[in-house]
Amino acid sequence: MPVSTDMGRLTSSSFQLSIPLLPGQTSLGAIAELRLNIFGTIIPSLTLEAIEGRWQSNKMLFQSGGITFEPWEISFVVDSQLKNWRVLFEWITLINNNIDIPGKVPNDYMVDCSLKVSDNYNTVMVALKFRNVWIQSLGQISLNQREGDLILESTATLYYDYIEVE
């Protein structure tokens, strides 16, 4: 039976990233997860490793290993109390703080995150689950009074093991 495909364009108006409460996290109080309003991201590329080999006197490319996932970069709106940025800061310093924590076991700082892409009617069009995620970098916040409408923004780079499309 053929599979029906909707050929309409995805015109998303909302990207929301949900990050569960991190190990050792206490600053969120009773909140069970952090939700970031993403204004820019790219669903990362993935590549199968390949080698060239011979098969019946012909050169061919064969899959030779696992999938390589590119880092995931997100741009998000920082809330008025910098709470979401501070939680990400605490996550990165949970892994290594340059004082007394030189690094931790990956299970102590990896979490599963989900990215929901919604349309103009707030209907979730696609959900991606990123498994074994950890933060690699947290971007700067520009504090400037001369810009008029000041919306604080920042970026983060996340690493993960694999993606599931729901």
Residue range 88-104, pLDDT digits in tens: 998 888 888 888 877 78
Cβ-contact 113, 34 below 8 angstroms:
no
Whether the CB-CB separation of 64 and 127 falls below 8 Å is answered with no
In CATH, the number for domain 14-44+55-165 is: 2.30.110.20
- Identify the pLDDT of residue 26: 55
Domain boundaries, the chain: 14-44+55-165
d(CA 91, CA 114): 17
**What is the predicted pLDDT for the residue at 100?**
86
The helix or strand, by DSSP H or E, that contains position 89, with its residue range, turns out to be helix 83-95
Query: What is the sign of the dihedral through the CA atoms of 149, 87, 74 and 94?
Result: positive
| Structural tokens at position 131 | 């498994």
CA–CA dist 113, 65 (Å, integer): 25
pLDDT of residue 2: 55
Token pair 């990896």 is found at 110
Instruction: Note down pLDDT in tens along the chain; length 166 residues.
Output: 555 444 444 555 678 888 887 766 655 444 567 888 888 898 899 898 888 888 787 888 878 788 889 999 999 999 888 888 988 998 888 888 888 877 788 888 899 999 998 887 888 888 999 999 999 999 999 887 766 667 889 999 999 999 999 8
Q: Which two tokens stand for residue 110?
A: 């990896």
CB 131 within 8 A of CB 164: yes
